[in-house]
């Protein structure tokens, strides 16, 4: 009988232990890393320089390297004036990659007269990678010049947007 009581006690102990082990808990920790926000600042404004017009419409294409070419009824005089592609500095985290979004069109005015800038391009094109937390973006575009466009200095003080986002 003593062996029977010992056996029953052992069975009860195993049953209690099995019930206690039916539910177990695991744990995990949570964490987050806040990275340096990406930023962009203009360092050089876009300027197409001096342009002579005719009775035929034309375009001036300003490349990201600051060179320009003419299409149609415009002339690029020997006295070029200031010719510069726009330039921006992007700052952020280490060697992160980022996307570049350029505008589709931008209007400049001189009094009641307007011209459109479109077909924006950038170097790097579409995306870039930070080197040591920084990257330079150069932006060119095409200036649409009307036939017999009125003389004047055409500007838009608002500026055109260049948007960068981490990939």
Enter the tokens of residue 4: 């029977």
DSSP-derived letter for residue 155 is B
Burial 17-35 (b: 16+ CB within 10 A, else e): eeeeeeeeeeeeeeeeeee
State pLDDT tens for residues 146-161.
999 999 999 999 999 9
Enter the tokens of residue 57: 């419409």
Domains of the chain: 36-166 (2.60.40)
Cβ atoms of residues 164 and 38 within 8 Å? yes
State pLDDT tens for residues 77-123.
999 999 999 999 999 999 999 999 999 999 999 999 999 999 999 99
Answer yes or no: pTM beyond 0.85: no
């Amino acid at each position: 009988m003593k062996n029977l009581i010992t056996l029953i006690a052992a069975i009860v102990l195993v049953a209690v232990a099995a019930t206690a082990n039916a539910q177990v808990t695991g744990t995990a920790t949570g964490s987050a890393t806040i990275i340096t926000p990406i930023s962009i600042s203009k360092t050089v404004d876009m300027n197409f320089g001096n342009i002579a017009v005719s009775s035929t419409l034309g375009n001036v294409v300003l490349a990201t390297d600051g060179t320009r070419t003419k299409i149609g009824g415009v002339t690029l005089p020997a006295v070029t004036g200031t010719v510069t592609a726009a330039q921006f500095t992007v700052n952020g985290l280490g060697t992160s990659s980022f996307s570049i979004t350029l505008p589709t069109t931008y209007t400049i005015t001189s009094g009641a007269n307007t011209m459109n800038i479109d077909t924006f391009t950038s170097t790097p094109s579409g995306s870039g990678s930070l080197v040591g937390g920084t990257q330079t973006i150069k932006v060119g575009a095409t200036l649409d010049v009307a036939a017999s466009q009125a003389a004047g200095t055409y500007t838009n003080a608002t500026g055109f947007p260049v948007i960068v986002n981490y990939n």
